[in-house]
């Protein structure tokens, strides 16, 4: 019975150190290392490069709510394609959920959502980039575009 509280504490600590959607700047740096580019004050972005992957963490109110992930290797000026198994692995490790539900395809892009519907992901097959984001981040982004067009 004494082990249960310890297990819960270590599980919580492990989840707090894991950089993903909802992570702080410090959690992202603990996971990815020193940012290759720190534009947090200008545009809310931290850019990392680790294990052949470039990750751009977008922050809102101190928490990461969008991750843009792509290969650091390029071909013809574009990131190289991410294999399907790597995309699935990235969804589980970076997306804050072990379970992702594929959405029906109405385009050539891959689209997934978490069971609770809070987070979704799109793999852009033309640009070879995986974007994982909250629906709130998506709504903010669309609102900014709408305002810019006025």
Q: Is 119 helix (H, G, I), strand (E, B) or coil?
A: strand
Query: Where are the strands (E) in 14-52, listed by range?
Result: 37-39, 45-50
Is residue 8 over pLDDT 80?
Answer: no
Model confidence, pTM: 0.82
The DSSP call for residue 81 is: P
Which one, of 110, 111, 89, lies nearest residue 98 by Cα?
89
The DSSP call for residue 105 is: P
Q: Tell me, what's the pLDDT at 1?
A: 44
Interval 9-44: pLDDT, tens? 333 333 333 447 899 999 999 999 999 999 988 889
Would you mind telling me the total number of residues written for the chain in this entry?
150
Q: Tell me, what's the pLDDT at 82?
A: 96
Q: Of the given ranges (64-73, 91-100, 118-127), which has the lowest mean pLDDT?
A: 91-100
Q: Tell me, what's the pLDDT at 2?
A: 44
Q: Using CB atoms within 10 A of its CB, is residue 5 exposed (0-12), middle (13-18) or buried (19+)?
A: exposed
Is residue 100 over pLDDT 80?
Answer: yes
């Amino acid at each position: 019975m004494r082990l249960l509280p310890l297990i819960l504490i270590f599980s919580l600590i492990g989840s707090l150190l894991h950089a993903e959607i909802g992570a702080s700047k410090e959690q992202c740096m603990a996971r990815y290392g020193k940012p290759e580019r720190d534009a947090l004050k200008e545009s809310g972005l931290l850019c990392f490069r680790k294990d052949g992957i470039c990750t751009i963490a977008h922050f809102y109110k101190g928490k990461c709510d969008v991750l843009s992930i792509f290969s650091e290797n390029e071909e013809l000026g574009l990131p190289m394609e991410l294999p399907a198994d790597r995309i699935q692995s990235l969804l589980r490790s970076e997306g804050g959920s072990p379970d992702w539900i594929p959405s029906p395809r109405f385009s050539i892009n891959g689209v997934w959502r978490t069971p609770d519907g809070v987070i979704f992901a799109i793999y852009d097959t033309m640009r070879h980039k995986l974007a994982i984001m909250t629906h709130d981040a998506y709504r903010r982004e669309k609102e900014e575009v709408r305002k810019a067009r006025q």
